[in-house]
Amino acid sequence: MTTTLFDPFDLSGLQLANRIVMAPLTRNRSPGAVPQPITATYYAQRASAGLIITEATAISAQGQGYANVPGLYTQQALDGWRTITDIVHTRGGKIIVQLWHVGRISHNSLQPDNQPPVAPSAIRAQSTTYLIDANGQGSFVPTSLPRALAASELPGIIDDYRRAARAAIEVGFDGVEIHAANGYLIDQFLRLSSNQRSDNYGGSIENRARFLLAVVEGVMEEVGATCPAGIRLSPVTPVCDVFDPEPQPLFEYVVRGLARYALSYIHIIEGATGGARDHQQGNTPFDYATLKQVYRDAGGKAAWMLNNNYDPALARQAIETGQADLISFGRLFISNPDLVERLRKNSPLTTPDTSTFYGGNEHGYTDYPFLDA
């Protein structure tokens, strides 16, 4: 029998009702890094997803890089998340939190004591972050010049990942996803454009992957035995100004390393995040099938989750051919809270309004229509 998007999936003991995953989506509606009641409504509306992965959520104040993104490092934020995990569970959904440290994609004004953001190397990203002024007016501004982390600071950051993962499980999350994609701290260590270090964390592929594997090891030790943990990678994305001339050997090394851990899923963004699926870095197209094979050959057992601009037909095909176990949808979940039902019935999909993606209120957040409305 053919597997379909609507078949259940056992994610290391977490029973997903279907293979349709809500991808992590930054929405900038959490003032003071505290998720609000409208965010509970937003996720509750989307609880029919097989799995919700929350928006990227800062593990520490230092890991914060945009106005009004949520955190996991204050009691108020954790209380806010508790309300959300409860309501999603009441609706029969499953919800995992995405653990985030932005590294250099930040601004002094968002950092503790207005300090510069931290990064593998003191190289400024040709990128912007999002600030909201005292009048509530949002704007994109250039990221600040970061300072290079000392190697002696890295264990403290890994402790922040561990603490955030533990706290997340205590407030009812079903699992955690390590955000190692899209040019944030972990990805900054991986890529040559942002990592010019001459110590054990820079230079060779082995060295550039060391921080990622140390984070995975810490998080797995902390929560991996009791709940699903996944990781998100974006081998060729250019977002947040990262580049590597040889992504294939780099990411093959990474997934071989990941095979040593009992991760529940590997989440791959194919191409440029939110953009062209065939985007390429270096001289050859990235070979995603080989990446998966390398992981399997190394003994990796995690589910394979694919993402980026999947339409219903492409998603169906990826599941039916066994290319993917799970497909995550981003923008379609913004504008279609009942995406699962719409896909099941082949109903028309609502197009998202990009002007309400980041910041604002209920509009463009909790007011997208349901089929039966």
In the complex, the smallest distance separating the C-beta of residue 27 from ligand 8OZ, rounded to whole angstroms, is: 9
* Residues of this chain that bind ligand 8OZ (CB under 6 A): 26, 56, 66, 182, 239, 273
In the complex, the smallest distance separating the C-beta of residue 4 from ligand 8OZ, rounded to whole angstroms, is: 28
Per DSSP, the three-state class of 164 is helix
Which lies closer to ligand 8OZ via its Cβ, residue 294 or residue 305? 305
Contact 213, 257 (CB under 8 A): yes
Dist CA 239 CA 183 (whole Å): 6
The torsion angle over the Cα atoms of residues 211, 213, 216 and 220, rounded to 10 degrees, is: -130
Q: Measure CA 359 to chain center.
A: 18
Per DSSP, the three-state class of 128 is strand
Which lies closer to ligand 8OZ via its Cβ, residue 56 or residue 214? 56
b/e per residue, 86-103, with b = 16+ CB within 10 A?
Answer: ebbeeeebbbbbbbbbbb
Nearest to 28 by CA among 108, 115, 180, 136: 136
In the complex, the smallest distance separating the C-beta of residue 25 from ligand 8OZ, rounded to whole angstroms, is: 7
Nearest to 47 by CA among 264, 363, 338, 305: 338
Contact 306, 328 (CB under 8 A): yes
Which lies closer to ligand 8OZ via its Cβ, residue 60 or residue 182? 182
In the complex, the smallest distance separating the C-beta of residue 24 from ligand 8OZ, rounded to whole angstroms, is: 6
CB atoms within 10 A of CB 115: 13
In the complex, the smallest distance separating the C-beta of residue 371 from ligand 8OZ, rounded to whole angstroms, is: 28
Q: Which residues are catalytic?
A: 184
- Give me 154's structure tokens: 């890295």
CB atoms within 10 A of CB 293: 13
Which lies closer to ligand 8OZ via its Cβ, residue 66 or residue 81? 66
Which lies closer to ligand 8OZ via its Cβ, residue 234 or residue 336? 234
